[in-house]
Structure 1
Amino acid sequence: MTTERVTFPGHDGQDLAARLDCPDGPLLGTVLFAHCFTCSKDIPAARRIAGRLAAMGLAVLRFDFTGLGHSDGEFANTTFTSNVDDVVCAAGYLANRDMAPGMLIGHSLGGAAVLRAAKHIDSVRAVTTIGAPFDPAHVTHNFKGALDTIAREGSAEVDLGGRPFRITRGFVEDVSAANLAPAIRDLNAALLVMHAPRDTQVGIDNAGEIFKAARHPKSFVTLDDADHLITKPRDAEYAAEVIAAWSGRYLDLRPPAPPPGAPEGIVRVSEADADGFLQDVNAGPEHHVLADEPEAYGGTNRGMSPYGFLSAGLGACTSMTIRMYARRKGWPLSHVHVDVCHDKMHAQDASGGEKIDGFIREIYLEGDLTDDQRQKLREIANKCPVHRTLERASKITTRLADQG
């Protein structure tokens, strides 16, 4: 993933700061991400979701609303309506770069904003909300006892997440007057509602109201025990993977043909989480898996270890080779599976306690096979290409499982 820092004019002409996360491979689509109330484009959930989507071929623009993060302007002069206008401005910026967004994602109040903004963005085919309120005025519960002061004096400073923000009467009146029901009903785009049942900031009943107001196609996915800010990496990655899979039904995400002369057979491995060891493994434009280390070794155990992939390569190649041979011979092999384990072992001829890599491979053959056929398939297993590659520097022990 490559990240470009960009700016574009917001609703009042002030520059808004943004990051455009682009895939390393083919660009399959563009997503516009709107962050939660008083947050920024750089909160962990936004970074992680953008990173996961970029790994799947989607460019993601995440920006700071006016007066927040690195964007210019005064937050005290903004309203819910101005946030909606900022979303439309961000979409216009992308359109001017021939990257008009096909999907909008909004987190919390940003979710309410994208629901309102969608009708003004012709390119949008799908909308996702994460922990969004059905009634934008829900955000005023964060102001606690300051509402009377705001109404009486026109503004007041409130503490939000340990930071002071000046909230004006105009903001309260604007957000209180917002009615999302008509916008949701007339969305004219597929809707994915994501919410956590244990969200203590925006209750899950909001998700129910949004879902009820929407017309089909619409989907609801629970985020289980995630918190409102989606702070756990596992929750953010789950959300991103669901969004990417769901959006494929509504966006044209077919990979374009590779350019002339492009090399084939490239496997690209890149960090998905710099705080741990999680890796994105992409084999061409269509195949994506995760690699990781167990928690005991500082990883998060969200994918196979590198040695797990090595063992998988040996097992897969073994099974395929056996199947090809049995098919060619017309033998009654109904099913094959291969168990592989890897370990370090002492070399028979090594001095000084030197160890080499060892693989133990158990082959399970099903079908009405003779003993001679079973033994021949065992021999064929040793001829699989990955076996030959590994055996040049590794010791591989192969045995047939006792199924008697």
Structure 2
Amino acid sequence: MPTENISFENHQGKRLAGRLELPSGNTRVWAIYSHCFTCSKDSLAAVRLSRALARRGIGVLRFDFTGVGDSEGEFEDSHFSANVLDIVSAAGWMAEHLQAPALLVGHSLGGAASLGAAVRIPSVRAVVAIAAPSEPAHVRHAFSDHIDEIRDQGAAHVDIGGTGSYRITREFLNDIEAATLDDCVRTLNRALLVMHAPGDDVVGIEHASHLFRTARHPKSFVSLDDMDHLLTDADDAEYVAAVIDAWSSRYIKQVLG
């Protein structure tokens, strides 16, 4: 099953790095996978889930948000609004070079960004939010000890979950605090699948409940049982991919057929 490296420009003219996971046979549909906060296109969940979807005939573009991984830019510019626009830029590249995506799959903050981007991408017919927060400001918990410093000094270098040191600016903080999802979810007009583990200790299950209650039909909820937030178990990624494949086929058929 081939993987191809690609790059594309975002709305700021920055080059974003991506990888295409290509099915061995015919590609039934194209999807964009959006990674979690401080993760990358090469995180375990991103790689395993994208490849598991490709084995099921779903071509996937996974890419690094602005300032993350191999993409250009600074991490401080990778706020929620920028993530949303990066997904829209990825969809534009796919429409020009492959086929416009019909499916968005996002993990954690990437799931929230996928919900924000879906209404801006006419080709999208289904969205999957995995362990996603119902409000982008939830990520403040990752640097809560530094919020006063960020507000007072304009920026702070913080260690987040042992993944590295990141410069968080006042503008970054203001962006995630101003961003809301309720209107996006309420007016999504696409099929929505919310997937969440009841015991998720990073993003609580109440976030999934709020997303599900806010959304209109068609909507579905699948419990991820005892899976961890980062989906580090390979079998868990296979399960999630199998569910996404089965669930989305009903809505994608309406596009492809």
Instruction: Give the TM bin, normalised by the shorter chain.
Output: over 0.9
Normalization by structure 1: what TM-score?
0.62
Residues 216-236 of structure 1 show CA distances to partners (whole Å, capped at 9, x for unaligned) of 000000100001100011111
Does 1:112 pair with 2:125? Answer: no
Aligned residue in 2 for 1:13: 13
2:198 aligned with 1:197, yes or no? Answer: yes
What is residue 173 of structure 1 aligned with on the other side? 174
- Cα distance in 1 for residues equivalent to 2:79 and 2:252: 31
Residue in 2 that maps onto 1:379: none
Kindly report which structure 2 residues correspond to 1:1-400, keeping only aligned pairs within 5 A, or say none. 1-162=1-162, 163-252=164-253
1:89 maps to amino acid? S
What residue identity is the alignment partner of 1:37? F
Q: Structure 2: where are the runs of 5+ without partners?
A: none
CA deviations on 1:115-156 (whole Å, 9 max, x unpaired) are: 011010000000000000001100001102100000001000
Point out 4+ residue stretches in structure 1 off by more than 4 angstroms. 253-256
Question: CA offsets per residue over residues 333-356 of structure 1, 9 Å max, x none?
Answer: xxxxxxxxxxxxxxxxxxxxxxxx
- Size of the alignment, in residue pairs? 256
Q: 1:366 maps to which residue? A: none
Report SS of the residue matched to 1:89. helix
Structure with higher RCO (Cα < 8 A, 6+ apart): 2
> What is the identity, as a one-letter code, of the residue corresponding to 1:170?
E
**How far, CA to CA, are the matches of 2:42 and 2:99 in structure 1?**
21
In structure 2, distance between residues paired with 1:11 and 1:74: 14
CA distance in 1, matches of 2:255, 2:64: 30
TM superposition score normalised by structure 2: 0.97
Q: How far is 1:189 from its partner? A: 0.4
Larger gyration radius, structure 1 or structure 2: 1
SS at structure 1 position matched to 2:166: strand
8 A contact 2:125–2:255 mirrored in 1: no
Letter in 2 for 1:74: E
Determine if contact 2:65/2:78 at 8 Å carries over to the other structure: no
* Aligned alpha-carbon RMSD (Å): 1.4
Cα deviations by residue, 1:156-193 (Å, 9 ceiling, x for unpaired): 01111221000000011110011100000000100000
Conserved? CA contact 1:28–1:254, under 8 Å: no
Gaps of 5+ in 1: 257-404
Query: For the residues of structure 1 that align with 2:232 and 2:243, how far apart are their CA atoms?
Result: 17
Structure (1/2) with the larger helix percentage? 2
- Contact 2:133/2:203 (CA < 8 Å) preserved in 1? yes
Kindly provide the CA deviation profile for residues 178-214 of structure 1, in whole angstroms up to 9, marking residues without a partner as x: 1100000000100000001111000010000000000
DSSP-derived class of the 2:91 partner: helix
User: Identity over aligned residues, as a percent?
Assistant: 54
CA distance, structure 2, for counterparts of residue 87 and residue 26 of structure 1: 24
Shift in Å at residue 51 of structure 1?
A: 1.0
Amino acid at match of 2:17: A
Q: Is the 8 A contact 1:28 1:253 kept in 2?
A: no
Q: Secondary structure at the match of 1:67?
A: coil
Contact persistence 2:142–2:161 (CA under 8 A): no
CA distance in 2, matches of 1:79, 1:53: 27
How far off is 1:97 after superposition?
1.4
CA distance in 2: counterparts of 1:127 and 1:229, whole angstroms = 19
